[in-house]
């Protein structure tokens, strides 16, 4: 069993400037597996940019062109788990042998091997064997080899032998074509201005781009609502808010004061009443944690305090959350409210 998903094909992997190199290298590898200098082919890039899809597409295409070849797709996580099980059952040699007779080995998310020296070691041996025998290795990772951490030098140097190709954020036109292609395949019609609105606002993750469209379709069909720009706005907002970490200090003060049922002016006041002091310290703590504002700027926005006061507040919250159960609950509750 190759574990390949036939829906993740080249045909469905739309081309754009952001992926042209990786996609072309993938096609080259698929037409001559093991026979190009792209061995290994390492595809890297951020979350949701198509690494898994492209890795499958190469495998699917190879299976199509060379049905006799054995192609195996596996995540680095599963590979690691299998290896651990094999060691437990004293099957280490069988495990190695199984992988050494594969023609095309695709390992997804190799960053997962970070720090796992035993698995890295066995993979090193499998890799060498495959490479020496002209077999093709395809890897994906969230980082370029130069930026990988806790991977042994000798393995990293192998990763750099072939070609490392990056998947970047797709540009607007590519995002629009990805959405149109998806809608077409799902047999759903949607006005262009809606598609463009979604593509304009969700930029850095194709999975989220598709997710927004899926929610939009679901919303409109379950609630029998027409797909309008307003509905698109509501849905896009949810996606964008979830990915955007930065919240404003005002929003934090409002959230904390609502939580303790007090006014923002009370939270900012000079009073030394314990519960108000604590609310203020929590607001400062979350402002430090969730915004890029300096201590001085946080202090001046939360009741005209100086930076030392903010620093003290952050330490106090840290201490109290590890010693005081009730206080810890405040921190957890507010964290939840702020992340919606």
Q: Which is nearer to Mg ion, 103 or 109 (CB)?
A: 109
Confirm or reject binding of residue 236 to ligand ADP (CB under 6 A): no
Confirm or reject binding of residue 141 to Mg ion (CB under 5 A): no
Picked from ligand ADP, Mg ion, none, the partner binding residue 136 (CB below 5 to 8 A depending on kind) is none
Binding segment for ligand ADP among 24-32, 204-212, 223-231, 314-322 (CB under 6 A)?
Answer: 204-212
Question: Taking the CA atoms of the chain, what radius of gyration do you get in angstroms?
Answer: 26
- Say how many residues touch ligand ADP, by CB under 6 A: 16
Confirm or reject binding of residue 14 to ligand ADP (CB under 6 A): yes
- HEC assignment per residue over 167-196: ECCCCHHHHHHHHHHHHHHHCCCCCHHHHH
Picked from Mg ion, ligand ADP, none, the partner binding residue 320 (CB below 5 to 8 A depending on kind) is none
**Whole-angstrom distance between the N-terminal and C-terminal Cα of the chain?**
41
Q: Which is nearer to Mg ion, 49 or 256 (CB)?
A: 49
Q: Tell me which of 2, 52, 278, 301 binds ligand ADP, using CB under 6 A.
A: 52
Which residues have CB under 8 Å from 80's CB, separation 6+? 112, 113, 116, 119
For residue 231 the two structure tokens come to 């509905």
Q: Tell me which of 40, 48, 299, 303 binds ligand ADP, using CB under 6 A.
A: 48
- In whole angstroms, give the CA distance from residue 103 to residue 154: 23
Closest alpha carbon to 39 in 146, 164, 147, 166: 164
- In whole angstroms, give the CA distance from residue 91 to residue 121: 16
Q: Tell me which of 58, 74, 113, 206 binds ligand ADP, using CB under 6 A.
A: 206
- In whole angstroms, give the CA distance from residue 195 to residue 178: 10
- Closest approach of ligand ADP to the CB of residue 139, in Å: 12
Confirm or reject binding of residue 80 to Mg ion (CB under 5 A): no
Q: Which is nearer to ligand ADP, 176 or 206 (CB)?
A: 206
Cβ atoms 126, 96 nearer than 8 A = yes
- In whole angstroms, give the CA distance from residue 145 to residue 161: 11
Q: Which is nearer to ligand ADP, 173 or 258 (CB)?
A: 173
Cβ atoms 112, 42 nearer than 8 A = no
Which residues have CB under 8 Å from 242's CB, separation 6+? none
Cross-strand pairs, 74: 107
Confirm or reject binding of residue 51 to ligand ADP (CB under 6 A): yes
Confirm or reject binding of residue 42 to ligand ADP (CB under 6 A): no
Q: Which is nearer to Mg ion, 8 or 239 (CB)?
A: 8
- In whole angstroms, give the CA distance from residue 75 to residue 106: 8
Confirm or reject binding of residue 47 to ligand ADP (CB under 6 A): yes
Q: Which is nearer to ligand ADP, 206 or 227 (CB)?
A: 206
E strands present in 210-273 = none
Q: Which is nearer to ligand ADP, 29 or 178 (CB)?
A: 178
Q: Tell me which of 18, 19, 39, 52 binds Mg ion, using CB under 5 A.
A: 52
Is 50 marked as binding a ligand? yes
Which residues bind to ligand ADP, rule: CB under 6 A? 12-14, 19, 45, 47-53, 178, 206-207, 210
Which residues bind to Mg ion, rule: CB under 5 A? 51-52
Question: Which parts are annotated binding residues for ATP?
Answer: 48, 50-52
């Amino acid at each position: 069993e190759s574990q390949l998903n036939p829906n993740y094909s080249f045909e469905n992997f739309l081309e754009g400037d952001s992926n042209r190199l990786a996609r072309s290298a993938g096609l080259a590898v698929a037409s001559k597996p093991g026979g190009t200098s792209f061995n290994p082919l390492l595809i890297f890039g951020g979350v949701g940019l198509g690494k898994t899809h492209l890795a499958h597409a190469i495998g699917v295409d190879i299976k199509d062109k060379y049905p006799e070849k054995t192609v195996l797709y596996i995540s680095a996580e599963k590979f690691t788990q299998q290896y651990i099980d094999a060691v437990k059952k004293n099957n280490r040699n069988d495990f190695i042998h199984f992988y050494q007779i594969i023609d095309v080995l695709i390992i997804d998310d190799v960053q997962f091997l970070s720090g796992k020296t035993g698995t890295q070691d066995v993979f090193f041996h499998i890799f060498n064997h495959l490479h020496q025998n002209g077999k093709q290795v395809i890897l994906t990772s969230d980082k370029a080899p130069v930026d990988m951490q806790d991977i042994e030098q000798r393995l990293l140097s192998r990763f750099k032998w072939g070609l490392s190709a990056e998947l970047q954020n797709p540009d607007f036109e590519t995002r629009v074509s990805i959405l149109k292609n998806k809608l077409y395949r799902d047999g759903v019609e949607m006005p262009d201005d809606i598609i463009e609105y979604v593509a304009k606002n969700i930029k850095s993750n194709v999975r989220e781009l598709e997710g927004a469209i899926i929610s939009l379709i679901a919303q409109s069909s379950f609630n029998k609502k027409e797909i309008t720009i307003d509905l698109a706005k509501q849905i896009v907002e949810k996606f964008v808010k979830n990915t955007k970490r930065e919240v404003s200090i005002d929003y934090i003060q409002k959230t904390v004061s609502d939580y303790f049922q007090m006014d923002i002016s009370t939270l900012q006041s000079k009073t030394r009443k314990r519960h108000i002091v604590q609310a203020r310290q929590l607001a400062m703590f979350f402002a430090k944690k969730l915004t890029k504002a300096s201590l001085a700027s946080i202090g001046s926005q939360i009741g005209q305090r100086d930076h030392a006061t903010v620093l003290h507040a952050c330490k106090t919250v840290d201490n109290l959350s590890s010693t005081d159960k009730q206080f810890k609950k405040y921190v957890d509750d507010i964290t939840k409210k702020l992340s919606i």
